[in-house]
Structure 1
Amino acid sequence: MADEQKQQSFEQALEQLEQLVNELEQGDLPLEQSLKKFEQAIALSRSSQQQLQQAEQKVTTLLAEQQSGNDESNGELM
């Protein structure tokens, strides 16, 4: 399961997480099956959170690089 999560896109993981939550909210599952699905949901949530953090870091880096480039250009004009 862990290998599958690493290969899933963020959107796929989110879709699977929503499906698991819906199944759990129905309350029709036996306890053992509910626990297993809950564990899967937690793992997907952690994986998705990590993907979001990586995306945020990349955006921050790109914006910093752009700002740095703009600062250098502005410095040359003065």
Structure 2
Amino acid sequence: MASKDKKPTFEDAFTQLRETVEALEAGNLSLEEATGLFDRGMKLAKTCNEMLSAAELQVSRLQRSFGEQMAMMQTPQDEPDEDDEEEKDA
């Protein structure tokens, strides 16, 4: 019973989806079996899509956080001084 409550990993869900699609493509199924597999496939596709969207959001947040950290790490020494500008003009 605990295994039904546990959400599958993306890899597990994708493997199950691929197997479901292969079974549908192979044919030799009754209408009831095909409809049941199609329903299962749609649920697995939704699960995979939700997991991918969550991962994409997490990556975006990490990239934004990294960019903010890099901006804060830049010191005024990284920017040219007024004295340096005057020396270049001379």
Q: Does TM, normalized by the shorter one, top 0.5?
A: yes
Partners of 2:5 and 2:53 in 1: how far apart?
16
**Higher Cα radius of gyration:** 2
Q: Could you tell me how far 1:4 is from its partner in structure 2? A: 4.0
Larger RCO of the pair (alpha carbons < 8 Å, separation 6+): 1
TM-score of the two chains, using structure 2 as the length reference: 0.77
**Whole-angstrom CA distance in 1 between matches of 2:6 and 2:38:** 18
> TM-score if structure 1 supplies the norm length?
0.89
Amino acid at match of 1:56: E
Gaps of 5+ in 1: none
- 1:1-20 superposed Cα distances (whole Å, 9 cap, x missing partner): xx848610000000000000
Distance 1:60 1:51, change over 3 A: same
Q: Give the conservation status (yes or no) of the 8 Å contact 1:5–1:13.
A: no
Instruction: Give the RMSD, CA atoms, in angstroms.
Output: 1.9
Identity of aligned residues (%): 26
- Hey, which bits of structure 1, 4+ residues long, moved more than 3 A? 3-6, 75-78
Query: How many Å separate the matches in 1 of 2:76 and 2:7?
Result: 45
User: Contact 1:10–1:48 at 8 Å: present in 2 too?
Assistant: yes
Aligned to 1:61: 61
How far is 1:76 from its partner? 4.9
Task: Give the structure 2 partner of residue 33 of structure 1.
Answer: 33
